[in-house]
Amino acid sequence: MDDNNIILQAKNMYHIYESLSLEGNVVALRGLNVTIKEGEAVAVIGPSGSGKSTLLKCLGGLMKPSSGSVSLGGKEMIRMTGSELVKLRQETVSFIFQDSNLLPELNALDNVAQPLRHQGVMPGPARSKAMELLDRLGMGDRWMGVPEELSGGEQQRVAIARALITKPKLILADEPTGALDPITSREVLELFERLHEEEDVAFLLVTHNRDVAYFCERSLELRDGRFVAQHGTDFDLSDLSESRELIIDETGTITLPPDLLLKLGGPGRFDVPDVDRDTLQLERVEDDKIEVSSQTKRILSSSCPACNHDYGESAEQLCPECGSSRPMVQA
């Protein structure tokens, strides 16, 4: 991989939350390695408590990891001062969170213009650029609305415009559709996809919802602070073991080669539905499974799953017969 094409890279990254409780310290990240190229979209998928938000904060320079290295735009962040980090983030990366985090006292226009104002841009040019982005995202007629007057989807569009106004090379998004209804969530993701394809913006999305990751080139599965599987294209498994033997020693401990463990989806709890001499069948327990699919094309369903209404050539988002949200399906 060409190092000049890498926008974000972490090596052997750990993060430990110190605690005085009886349970002791919490290890949130366990030796993670992450590389994201310019213009690449990558998703990190995992259940609550797996370390997703901690990972995002460490990669974005909002939190220093306990050990390891993180570089953004080719610059090592670990030893930077606070002001140096702020400058690097302003030049390179923008954040989008589940809660839009808009300033409640400012209208949509001034919320979007705020990052440019922090960079010293005068109010007139900053607002002019903000208005262009709001128009582009279909929010031009709502520029005067304060956050409490905007719907959840409108707030998230304002947050996206705010993230784009500094022309970042990378957008880090933490559960960006978690607080949205299905239709609004779909619209936001379609906007992300368009930005990725047309503007060549790199994305790192962290989520528990596999549908959020459908337009990403790669999906990384995170469990208990470790990446246990990778899905999609353009990743290298050549450094994994070539042996495919499963070894069970005298104590009953099972050892798997890394490539088999990766295909199995990593460590976890497994049922043993069937055992015969010289044959062992394993199946991950249902509540420990995470569905992750590689990049696929998704389209609106041709019929309503609730009442079988035929949408025909219509682009309706709600079923006119029963009012159900129209789902997306794989093409």
Neighbours of 300 (CB within 10 A): 14
What CA–CA distance (Å, rounded) separates 51 from 267? Answer: 16
Q: What is the mean pLDDT of residues 242-260?
A: 62
What CA–CA distance (Å, rounded) separates 203 from 40? Answer: 6
Could you give the 3-state DSSP secondary structure of residue 37?
strand
Give pLDDT, residue 1.
47
What does the DSSP 8-state code read for residue 320?
A: T
Look at 269 and 86; give whichever has higher pLDDT.
86
| Joined tokens for residue 220 | 């990384």
Lowest mean pLDDT among 28-32, 174-178, 272-276: 272-276
What CA–CA distance (Å, rounded) separates 132 from 137? Answer: 9
Residue burial 143-162, b: 16+ Cβ < 10 Å; e: rest:
bebebeebebbbbbbbbbbb
Q: Tell me what percent of the residues of the chain surpass a pLDDT of 70.
A: 85
Give pLDDT, residue 238.
33
pLDDT level of residue 242 (50, 70, 90 thresholds): very low
Look at 264 and 99; give whichever has higher pLDDT.
99
Mean per-residue pLDDT of the chain: 82
Look at 147 and 259; give whichever has higher pLDDT.
147
Could you give the 3-state DSSP secondary structure of residue 88?
helix
Give pLDDT, residue 245.
56
* Residue of 180, 219, 215, 195 whose CA lies nearest to 43: 219
pLDDT level of residue 132 (50, 70, 90 thresholds): very high
What does the DSSP 8-state code read for residue 327?
A: P
Q: What is the mean pLDDT of residues 220-243?
A: 61
Whether the predicted pLDDT of 110 surpasses 60:
yes
Look at 25 and 107; give whichever has higher pLDDT.
107
Whether the predicted pLDDT of 64 surpasses 80:
yes
- The dihedral over CA atoms of 226, 232, 238, 240, expressed in degrees to the nearest 10, equals 30
What are the φ and ψ backbone dihedral angles of 244, each rounded to 5 degrees?
Answer: -120, 20
Please spell the DSSP secondary structure of 193-262, one letter per residue: HHHHHHH--EEEEEES-GGGGTT-SEEEEEETTEEEEEEESS---TTS-S----EE-TT--EE--HHHHH
- Global pTM reads 0.71
Q: What is the mean pLDDT of residues 54-59?
A: 92
Residue burial 202-217, b: 16+ Cβ < 10 Å; e: rest:
bbbbbbeebbbbbbbb
Give pLDDT, residue 305.
82
Lowest mean pLDDT among 171-175, 242-246, 295-299, 325-329: 242-246
pLDDT, tens only, 66-76: 999 999 988 99
Q: How many helices, marked H, and strands, marked E, lie in the chain?
A: 7, 16
Q: Tell me what percent of the residues of the chain surpass a pLDDT of 90.
A: 26
Q: Contact at 8 Å (CB) between 150 and 174?
A: no
Whether the predicted pLDDT of 180 surpasses 60:
yes
**Residue 237: alpha-carbon gap to chain centroid:** 22
| Joined tokens for residue 193 | 């996809």
